[in-house]
Each structure stands twice: as C-alpha cells, then as structure tokens.
C-alpha cells in the first residue's frame, strides 16, 4: 500500500526522501508528495501520478530543509488527485498516513461543527485537523498527538511534523507497519526496511499500538497507554543499493527469470540432499500430533495454498482447509485442538492475513507464517517462521515469491508426511531428489521464452481468456488467469477442466483462447477430453503439456514442457502462465510492474 518516509536530519531532506520513495514504487501508488520544515514553516509539494510528476513539480518549485516527510499514496478514501495526495497539512501540522481511519466520518462531523474546513476527501485529513484542534487548545505537541491517537479507530501508520518544532517528529502504528531508523545525529521513519535502506540499517520495528517521539539525538517509544517502553534494535539485511532491472525490460520479467536461482536458494534452506531429508526449522510443537492444517492467504498466495492442500492431503493424509484471509474470521471457523494454521504472505504485512493469524493464535492454534520479509509483523507474531528466500520482489504481480512459496510448502508437505509415518525414509529421499530437480527444469521452461511470447501475441487481442486444469493444476489455472487480469487487463478466469460443462462452456467461441494445463499424470486423459469438448465448440486451445506432441492434434498452439513429478509440476507450469501474461501485457502496452489500481503490499482490509 502507501509508502512513508520521514527524515529528521542535518542534510537536505528532499533528495533523500525522493530516493527512498523510489524504493517503495513496487508497493503500488497513484500520487506522491513531500513536506519539509523550512525556516520555521511547513511547505509541501504534491502531484497525482508517478514520482516523475512530483519531480517535475519540485524542479519548478524546489523544497529546502533538512527535516521532511514523504509519501506515495494508493487511493482508498477519495480519488488520486492533488487535493487528496499526502502530505495533508493545516497551518500547524503536516501528516502522512498509511491505512484507514474507520471512524473518520463522526470525527469529521465533530470538527466541522467546531468550524474546521476540509480541502479533500480523505480520512487522513481528519487526523491532521483533529491534531491541530488539540494544539489550538493549548496542548503540548506530545499530549496533543497522544490524545489524537486515542480518538482514532482503524488501521494506520502515521508520520507527523509540527510547525515550529524542527527537532521533532512523531510516528505511530496500529495495524499498519512502521519502522524507526537510527542514525548519527539523525533519525528516520519508514514503511519498512526497504524505505530506509539507504539511510539506516539499525531499525526498531514498532509494535501494535506503539508511537514514537523522534529528535535528532534521541528516540523514545511509548505503548498505547503512553508508557515509555524499550523495543529491540535490529540490524537490517536489506541492501542499501537500489534494486535494478539489469538487462530486462521490466522488474516482472527479471523476477520471472530469477526463479531457477531463488527456488534453488529456497530449497537449499529446507532440503538435505545428502541425507535425503527435509530439514525444517525447529518447531515449538510436535508436527506428528497435528490433526488438521488450515492454510490462509490472499491472491497469488491463496493459490499457493490451494496447491499445498493437494500435496498435504495426498502425502500426509492430514485434512486441510484453505481460506481466503479476508473471509476467514467472518465465517467463525471451527478449529481442531492442536491444529496448525499456516499464513502465507509475500510481505508479511497483508492486513487481512495478519488479522486471521491473530484470530487463530487467540484460538490456541499453532501458528506458522510463510513470508518473504523476516522482519515483518507476521514473522514476529508467528510461532514458526518459514522464510521463502525469494529476495526483493518489486513487480506488483507476484512471480518468484509464488514459486518460492510453492517450494517451501512442498518441503513442508514431505516433512509432515514423514512425521506422520505416511512415507518411509526411501520415499522421503525420492521426494527430496525430485525437488532438487526443480531449478534445472525451470531453466528449461525459460528457454521456451520466444515461443511463449509468440503465443502471447495471439492472446493479447482477446476480450476473454480461460485457463483450465485438473487436480493440482486447477489452482495453477486460477493463478494464470489472475496474472493475465492483473497486468494486461484482459478478462480471464481459471476453471477446473471438468467443471466447464456445468456452465462456463457457454462462454466458448472462436474468439476465446483457452489455456489447457495438462501434464502427463493420472488425469491427463480426462483433461484432454475436456479440451476436445472446447475445440468442438470452436475454442482456440493452447496446450501446455509434456505430452504435447501426442495430444496436440487440432490445438491452436502447444508448448512442450519438461516431465516432472507431482511436487515439481505446479512449480514448472507457473512459469509459462506468468510469461503469457507478461508478454500479452507488453503487447498491449500496459504498465507491467505497476498495474492500475493494484498495490504490492495490501495493509488495509
């Protein structure tokens, strides 16, 4: 979601804030702005659109000052206009905000009755006006800020400057992450470690309800009750150098081609090929006694969970439930005593997944987090953390994080099966050996890049595209459809191939490409039969299969895939559907890395 950077410094703040905001572009945004302390005054510049638009504004009207706050906004309340862009200001405060203030309407009505006026439509402006009202009543800045926080309901991270207080910055978090960076005679606030990578490696992750008072030479953290507290200082491992695209056209393309490397890195953390064993981190519970597994995630991570259900139930014979995080708490799930609840999130900050994690933890479940960011809130709150080791993923549409999630989940499924006695040592060694082949086979798929690009060009003009698969490849079909929707804006749906005749086959005509995911497995005959039904209705079938030569008669196009076992095929087939989406989006000229309306890290429900 939105990105926050605050610098309480001794050198010009604006260029450093811009540099940090560029690190946050991967989160997705539609406007940006900066406010600084300059000569005792608060001055700001804002612009809708990308950071390049803000840079143009700053080139015409520069900002000086060593203390400032910056923001990239993903619109929630109010359209992405300059009036709604952050920072929001009054005559006394400047504020940036990530999250949603749920009670902003009654607060706004209260302030309007007191004579306050509003420039935009955002919930954030209410916070600025409320804080100003308490300062106008004569409260000291610290007391006014704490009182303001006590009135807010929702999920938020805040960074605040106060006019005339050039050695003071406030930050607060409730439901949205915020990090304090420590420097020499300078201190900082940021949305995450990436935001502060060029400024500081010494970080304090604020906990739920915490707020912080920053000065040039000191930082004091308080809990929600206003008590001074000590929080651990951690050393960030995020590289200070800016992540770049290398020789690739987009970050997404680069990240697709990184997958053999990062999957090898991920599997290297969990597999012992010499012993033929899976080596999971120490678990604070007995895996052998787990009666049920609950998998909870959103978006692409949800489809990784769907794949894992097939693996876990087939190999370990443990019942699995898979839930969309935003729905999970509201159906009042029934937990099994001693159950394991696994929460999957690239960022580790996904708001609804985090809320679901807390719900399960409060219900007494063993809680595991599969994340890409070790310092994230989910990682800190889980009983067990299983990092995916994908490295920084900048493209909004997840690619390498997805295949790394699958790799970790596959290893976990094997470990659970061994713990349950459902597989013996020889079988475990065979599965480990199979997983070890994944990076090499992924590289083989990437060698078909040009063929996939050619197929994608034929898809790009379509209004509707269907993806179909059976069994463990049904979730890959849904993931392929999601990718195409996300970045090309083509309407796409993923279906279980056998479900088509129950309604969706009515959509088929000669203008509808259908991507058939059909590896040579126990279900291939049924899948190919379903694809024949599509061709009989003039559907343009594009076959992805390691049996393509044999099964491709009458198909519009085919892509030969390498053969692999049941743990590796979903990982392999993720790659061509990613590339089909990527090249279709390039053909259509859409913004591949930052597609419209989407954000990398969704930190509000």
Most confident of the ranges 152-166, 210-224, 447-461: 210-224
Q: What is the pLDDT of residue 241?
A: 47
Please check whether residue 11 is in contact with residue 65, taking contact to mean a CB–CB distance below 8 angstroms: no
453-590 fold? Rossmann fold (3.40.50)
HEC per residue, 486-542 = HHHCCEEEEEEHHHHHHCHHHHCCCCCEEEEECCCCCCHHHHHHHHHHHHCCCCEEE
Q: What is the share, in percent, of the chain residues with pLDDT greater than 90?
A: 58
Fold classification of 244-436 is: Rossmann fold (3.40.50)
144 vs 351 pLDDT, higher one: 144
Quote the mean pLDDT of the chain: 88
Distance between CA atoms of residues 328 and 353, nearest Å: 9
3-state secondary structure of 38: strand
Q: Does domain 3-235 have CATH number 3.60.20.10?
A: yes
Known catalytic residue at 114? no
3-235 and 453-590 share one fold: no
Q: What pLDDT score does 598 carry?
A: 65
8 A C-beta contact, residue 132 and residue 161: no
Residue 72 reports pLDDT greater than 70: yes
Task: Give the model's confidence band at 512: pLDDT under 50 very low, under 70 low, under 90 confident, else very high.
Answer: confident
Dihedral sign from CA coordinates of 290, 293, 296, 299? positive
Is 2 noted as a catalytic residue in this protein? yes
The answer, yes or no, to whether residue 599 has pLDDT greater than 80, is: no
* 3-class SS of residue 383: coil
CA-based nearest residue to 391, from 238, 188, 580, 599: 238
Angle at 187 between CA 183 and CA 87, to 5 degrees: 145
Res 230: pLDDT: 94
Confidence of residue 524 (pLDDT cuts 50, 70, 90): confident
Half-sphere exposure of 103 (CA within 13 A, CB side): 12
Q: Residue 462 pLDDT more than 50?
A: yes
- Which residue in the list 163, 400, 520, 600 is annotated as catalytic? 600
Q: How many other CB atoms sit within 10 Å of the CB of residue 536?
A: 11
> Cα(325)–Cα(320) distance, rounded to whole angstroms?
15
Please tell me the predicted confidence (pLDDT) of residue 180: 95
Residue 242 has pLDDT above 60, yes or no: no
Position 496 pLDDT exceeds 50: yes
**pLDDT, tens only, 214-238:** 999 999 999 999 999 999 998 876 6
Task: Report domain extents, the chain.
Answer: 3-235, 244-436, 453-590
Q: In the β-sheet with 31-38, what is the strand arrangement from edge to edge? A: 41-48, 31-38, 67-73, 3-8, 187-190, 179-182, 202-205, 233-235
**What is the per-residue pLDDT for 217?**
95
Per residue in 158-175, pLDDT (tens digit) is 999 999 999 999 999 986
CA-based torsion, 494, 496, 497, 503: positive or negative: negative
Catalytic residue among 2, 159, 298, 404: 2
């Amino acid at each position: 979601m939105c990105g926050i950077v605050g610098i309480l410094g001794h050198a010009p703040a604006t260029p450093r804030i811009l540099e940090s905001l560029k690190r946050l572009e991967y989160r997705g945004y539609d406007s940006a702005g900066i406010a600084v302390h300059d000569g005792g005054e608060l001055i700001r510049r804002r612009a809708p659109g990308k950071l390049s638009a803000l840079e143009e504004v700053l080139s015409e009207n520069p900002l000086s000052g060593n203390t400032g706050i910056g923001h990239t906004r993903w619109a929630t309340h109010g359209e992405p206009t300059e009036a709604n862009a952050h920072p929001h200001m009054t005559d006394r405060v400047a504020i940036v905000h990530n999250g949603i203030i749920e009670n902003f309407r009654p607060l706004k009505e209260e302030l309007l009755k007191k004579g306050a006026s509003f420039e935009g439509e955002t919930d954030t402006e209410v916070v600025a006006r409320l804080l100003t009202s308490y300062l106008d009543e004569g409260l000291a800045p610290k007391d006014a800020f704490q009182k303001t926080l006590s009135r807010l309901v929702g999920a938020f991270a805040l960074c605040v400057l106060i006019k005339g207080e050039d050695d003071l910055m406030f930050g607060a978090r409730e439901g949205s992450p915020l990090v304090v960076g420590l420097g020499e005679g300078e201190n900082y606030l940021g949305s995450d470690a990436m935001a502060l990578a060029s400024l500081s490696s010494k970080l304090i992750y604020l906990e739920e309800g915490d707020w912080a008072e920053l000065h040039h030479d000191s930082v004091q953290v308080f809990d929600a009750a206003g008590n001074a507290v000590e929080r651990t200082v951690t050393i960030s491992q995020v590289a200070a150098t800016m992540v770049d695209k290398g020789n690739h056209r987009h970050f997404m393309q680069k990240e697709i081609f990184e997958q053999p490397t990062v999957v090898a890195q991920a599997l290297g953390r969990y597999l012992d090929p010499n012993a033929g064993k899976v080596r999971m981190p120490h678990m604070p519970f007995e895996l052998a006694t787990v009666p049920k597994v609950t998998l909870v995630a959103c978006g692409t991570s949800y489809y990784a969970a769907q794949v894992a259900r097939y693996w876990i139930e087939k190999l370990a014979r443990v019942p699995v439930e898979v839930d969309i995080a935003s729905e999970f708490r509201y159906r009042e799930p029934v937990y099994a005593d001693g159950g394991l609840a696994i929460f999957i999130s690239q960022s580790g900050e996904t708001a609804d997944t985090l809320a679901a994690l807390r719900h399960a933890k409060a219900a007494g479940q063993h809680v595991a987090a599969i994340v890409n960011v070790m310092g994230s809130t989910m990682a800190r709150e889980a009983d067990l953390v299983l990092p995916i080791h994908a490295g920084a993923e900048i493209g909004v549409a997840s690619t390498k994080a997805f295949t790394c999630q699958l790799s970790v989940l596959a290893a976990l499924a094997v470990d659970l099966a061994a713990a349950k006695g459902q597989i013996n040592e020889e079988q475990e060694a065979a599965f480990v050996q199979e997983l070890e082949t994944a990076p090499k086979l992924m590289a083989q798929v990437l060698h078909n890049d040009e063929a996939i690009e050619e197929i994608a060009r034929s898809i790009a003009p379509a209004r509707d595209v269907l993806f179909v698969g059976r069994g463990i490849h049904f979730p890959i079909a849904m993931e392929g459809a999601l990718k195409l929707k996300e970045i090309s804006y083509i309407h796409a749906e993923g279906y279980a191939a056998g479900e088509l005749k129950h309604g969706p086959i009515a959509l088929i005509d000669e203008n509808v490409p259908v991507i058939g995911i059909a590896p040579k497995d126990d279900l291939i005959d049924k899948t190919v039969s379903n694809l024949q039904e599509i061709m009989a209705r003039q559907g343009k079938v594009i076959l992805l299969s390691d049996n393509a030569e044999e099964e491709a008669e009458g198909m519009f196009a085919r892509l030969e895939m390498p053969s692999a076992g049941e743990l590796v095929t979903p990982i392999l087939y993720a790659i061509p559907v990613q590339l089909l989406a990527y090249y279709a989006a390039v053909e259509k000229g859409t913004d591949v890395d930052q597609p419209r309306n989407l954000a990398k890290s969704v930190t509000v429900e």
